[in-house]
Amino acid sequence: MDLNKHLPLTETTYYTLLSLLEPAHGYIMMQKVEQLSNQTVKIAAGTMYGAIENLLKQQLIKAVKSTDKRRKTYVITEKGIEMLRLDCERMKHITYITDKLLPPTALGNGGVEDA
């Protein structure tokens, strides 16, 4: 299976998959994404349910049985976990090579020296 066709994951997709390492329904997923992202990623309900449909089609998540009949509960699949691992490794490489190539002290003004 060619997992690389899904990479790189968007930030929203990455956090959504992370939010499903434990079973959750849409509202809990939205809260977890916000918490995991340090409140930088906020997903509206309509966006979340569209994302759920896409992740289901890609088989990165699946629905699971729940005691709550009013809400559908989802969990990440093995394929979804592998996608997270691959994207995490990709980002680790990016940060490693960036740290290696950037000057030891980057200028705080966008890299422009004062005249």
CATH number of the domain encompassing residue 96: 1.10.10.10
Alpha carbon distances (Å) from 15 to 31, 97, 112 = 11, 23, 34
* Residue 109 belongs to some domain of the structure: no
Q: What tens digit of pLDDT does each residue of 19-71 get?
A: 999 999 999 999 999 999 999 999 999 999 999 999 999 999 999 998 888 89
* Residue 108 belongs to some domain of the structure: no
Number of domains into which the chain is organized: 1
* Residue 72 belongs to some domain of the structure: yes
* Residue 56 belongs to some domain of the structure: yes
**pTM score:** 0.84
